[in-house]
Amino acid sequence: MVKKKLKELIKEFCYKYNPPSYRKHGNFKSDFIIFLNRNDCRIIDEYEIVYRNVKANGDIVKQRGFIDFFVFYNQTRFAIEFDNGNLLKLKSISKLLQSSSKYKIGIVRGNQRYNVWNQNMRRITYVMKRLQLQTSPILLIINSDKTAGWIKNTT
């Protein structure tokens, strides 16, 4: 119930959020924080995490980074990463998968001219397999397409 309620709230925000192209990551984040606060969420902005990152060349390195949002909703934790382009960054996927949250959400701006769903799904499953993680799935939200779905490890 909690997962569905917050998922629907976040989808509602993302689907309605259509800023001009010059508004980037910081603007989305500040608007998103206001939205979450209005919906009884407690937010930790830029939550620090030490994680194993899958680099573009396939190497895995341990590093320190920040998850965009750690959200508490009815005592349930959600980790949320937002990337402004068509694809979730490999480091965003790595951070989400290794967060201690019960639910993990990746949001991309997307592009209506291209189907970016399959590319994002391949990236998420690649990182899951590369890190050999059996973890809860990631909810992928593509803003431009107004699509969302859970991506699980298929191994």
Mind listing the pLDDT tens digit for each residue in 65-106?
A: 999 999 998 888 999 999 888 899 999 999 999 999 988 999
For the residues of 84-135, what is the DSSP string, one character each? SSSS--HHHHHHHHHSS-SEEEEEE---TTS--HHHHHHHHHHHHHHTT---
CATH number of 91's domain? 3.40.1350
Supply the range of the domain harboring residue 96.
2-151
- Give the lowest-confidence range in 10-14, 20-24, 25-29: 20-24
CA 140 – CA 145 distance, rounded (Å):
12
Number of separate domains in the chain: 1
What is the average pLDDT score of the chain? 85
Amino acid in the structure at residue 138: I
Q: How many CB atoms lie within 10 A of CB 41?
A: 18
Crossing angle of helices 117-130 and 90-98, rounded to 10°: 60
Place of tokens 């990551």: 25
Q: Residue 39 — very low, low, confident or very high, per pLDDT cuts 50/70/90?
A: confident
